[in-house]
Amino acid sequence: MSQAAREDRRQELVRAAYSQIAERGFEGLRTREVAAGVGVNIATLHYYFPTKEALIRGVVEHAMGRFRTTLAPHGSPADQLRNHLRAVRKLLREEPGLGLVLGELNLRSARDPAIAGIMRQTYDAWHQTLRGLLRRAVKEGHLPPEIDTDEVAALVVAALTAMTLPTLSSSPRTDQALRQLERWLGVSTPRAKKGNGVPPASD
């Protein structure tokens, strides 16, 4: 089997596991059923994923790969940030299974150190990407130089992660929160003007 064929098979197994979690929750994930759904035996699944943790890591990578599609590399840093916020919301609407899977994994991570480690690494990478984007926005004058880009990146990740919770994913308050976040960051208009910055917090 060629390298491309092996990668295709690996992705088939990941998507099958992803679908099981979306439909049944984490507790409904059965590796034998994942293998059977792809038309292979359990030994073949273990060839690609020696442990269940490795399979979960593949699912997380797949889910976060969907999030990475919302980080378009063109436009100003302010444009990219605004588009990322809106594209994540659109993605979760069009692919509700994505929110279900991430919600399940986040909840499970509170009781499973292995999954907690995987999720932490994933969110750290997302945080670093956003922090870099925010720093470029500051450098180009789209955001004020006094903001703490590390803390703002943490806030954005927390806000977008909250959208994966079932009670919030379909709530109109989520759209309200996103609009406010855009205004707070000064990226709510089609063209963020130089000098638009984070307004001071009200008392």
Annotated domain spans of the chain: 3-55, 60-185
Burial of 137 (0-12, 13-18, 19+ CB in 10 A): buried
Whole-model pTM: value is 0.76
Q: Which fold has domain 3-55?
A: Arc Repressor Mutant, subunit A (1.10.10)
Section 137-161 average pLDDT: 91
Q: How far is CA 96 from CA 58, 72, 93, 186, in A?
A: 19, 21, 6, 29
**Are 197 and 144 within 8 A, CB to CB?**
yes
**pLDDT per residue over 18-65, tens digit each?**
999 999 988 899 999 999 999 999 999 999 999 999 999 999 989 888
pLDDT at residue number 196: 44
Are the folds of 3-55 and 60-185 the same? no
Q: Which fold has domain 60-185?
A: Tetracycline Repressor; domain 2 (1.10.357)
Q: What is the spatial distance between Cα 38 and Cα 133, in angstroms, rounded to a whole number?
A: 39
Q: How far is CA 88 from CA 16, 137, 172, in A?
A: 23, 19, 15
